[in-house]
């Protein structure tokens, strides 16, 4: 958030929180999703740059029906449309993980679901790796994390509302 003394994502940089901080941002839901994954990938494999796309549930500031708006995207029904949108989540990761500042960019698509979003992260790494290695790293990290999960079940967004 603009004007915050610190932007904190729990289990990523919460240890940087200081008593002197007066205004604290807990970042966006997308940043809270992206930062722990980026932290593991950067620590283990090194991120040179990356692009994240969030497929994001619609939010309370979107219109439920088509209406007039100066921005054509903002005029459209959130409950019936996939709407391209902006996100600052990739840039906010640089506030949480300064070593990634300027290395990630992002975009969003708002979709007609009321809950559950996902982040697709594509990165250029500093060293060669395999899908199996990345999966093993994420699985291992999830076993020692309060915020990361890992599964291989054939789940859809609705399953995460249970």
Question: Which residues does the annotation mark as catalytic?
Answer: 29
The structure tokens listed for 157 are 């967004």
Of 157, 148, 149, nearest to 35 by C-alpha is 148
DSSP H helices, the chain, are 29-45, 89-96, 131-142
The CA distance from 6 to 101, in Å, is 15
Report CA dihedral (51, 56, 60, 63) to the nearest 10 degrees.
Answer: 90
H or E segment to which residue 151 belongs:
none
- 29, 72, 114, 120 from 65: Cα distances, Å: 25, 13, 14, 28
């Amino acid at each position: 958030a603009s004007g915050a003394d610190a932007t904190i994502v729990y289990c990523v940089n919460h240890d940087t929180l200081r008593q002197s901080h007066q205004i604290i941002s807990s970042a966006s839901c997308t940043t809270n999703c992206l930062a722990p994954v980026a932290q593991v990938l950067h620590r283990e494999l090194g991120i040179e740059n990356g692009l994240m796309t969030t497929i994001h549930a619609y939010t309370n500031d979107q219109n439920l029906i088509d209406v007039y708006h100066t921005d054509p995207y903002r005029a459209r029904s959130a409950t019936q449309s996939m709407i391209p949108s902006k996100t600052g989540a990739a840039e906010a990761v640089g506030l949480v993980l300064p070593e990634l500042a300027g290395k990630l960019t992002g975009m969003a698509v708002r979709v007609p679901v009321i809950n559950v979003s996902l982040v697709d992260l594509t990165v250029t790494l500093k060293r060669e790796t395999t899908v199996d290695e990345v999966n093993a790293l994420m699985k291992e990290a999830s076993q020692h994390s309060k915020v990361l999960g890992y599964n291989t079940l054939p789940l859809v967004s609705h399953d995460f509302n249970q």
